[in-house]
Amino acid sequence: MTTRQNKFAEILKQYNYRLHSGDIVAGTVIHNEKIGFLVDIGTKKIGYLPKEELLINLTNTMDNNLMLINTTRDFFLITENINTQQYILSIKRLDYIRAWKRIKQIYLEDIIFSLKIRYINKGGIISYLEGIQGFIPKSHISCIKNQLDIELIKLNNIKCKILTINENKNQLILSNKSAQLKLSLHKFKIGQLLYGQIIMLKSYGLFVNVCGIKALLHMSEIGTINNNNHNPIFIKNHFIKVKIIHLNNKHGQVSVSIRNIKNITNHHLQY
């Protein structure tokens, strides 16, 4: 040990300093072993960092292993191995703690952010925020109409807000719709009349693209059209005039109505 390390060890002994599980300790990586690293944490017992406890996004390659040698930083103390007389350390768990702290702050401040899309599946989009995997359900992706839209989304970052968080389950649910609505709120007012393009037809109503936001026109808000034909028809990609009746910024939900709106063409509903 160097003179400086000896002094540090003497100070620890003087104050009867004891380490416990969950402590954050400073240390220097001093040796690369087959399945881990030895870490000098200034105590008689050496620290041991298993390779599976490295950084969240650090690949386990020889180059990365060598880069850690002589690195001084903080570590999370998992436990003490009685058999080897070593403190088991982690970088990954400390990164998770700090990542979730930042995520909670983003959630409290209702911040909009852009993320790189990692994967797209039938259920939605997978991305990462502060190294933590996040999921954007398909129902919270704004105005995906076809496979072409999905391919275009793959090429770009996607704007999001945090919908729900559960640190205990390491669960992070994001919403693109909520972010888009917050950015477009100046375009919407309750009672406002706007034109929208029909993008999806369902048994319970239809979805309309209004200023880039997917709005629901429920069957109960279609009402009776003021002419001889009482059965309206709606055709995909056609434009209709709608009235904003509900805004939910948190969940990115917009509801519209065509009740008592004039100049709407009547036809039969088609799917």
- Nearest residue to 27 (alpha-carbon basis) of 86, 70, 63: 70
Q: Which range scores top for mean pLDDT: 11-25, 141-155, 173-187?
A: 173-187
Cα–Cα distances in Å, from 179 out to 46, 52, 205, 210, 251?
Answer: 48, 35, 24, 15, 9
Q: Which range scores top for mean pLDDT: 109-118, 209-218, 228-237?
A: 109-118
Whose tokens are 């402590």? That residue is: 23
Cα–Cα distances in Å, from 204 out to 188, 241, 252?
Answer: 24, 19, 19
Amino acid at 50: P
pTM (predicted TM-score):
0.69
Question: What percent of the chain shows pLDDT beyond 70?
Answer: 77
**Strand spans (E) along the chain:** 24-32, 36-40, 47-50, 72-81, 86-90, 113-115, 117-121, 124-129, 132-137, 158-166, 171-175, 193-202, 205-210, 213-218, 239-248, 253-257
Q: Residue 59 pLDDT more than 60?
A: no
What's residue 127's pLDDT? 93
pLDDT-based confidence at residue 259 (cuts at 50, 70, 90):
confident
What's residue 111's pLDDT? 94
What's residue 119's pLDDT? 87
Domains of the chain are 3-90 (2.40.50.140), 110-181 (2.40.50.140), 188-257 (2.40.50.140)
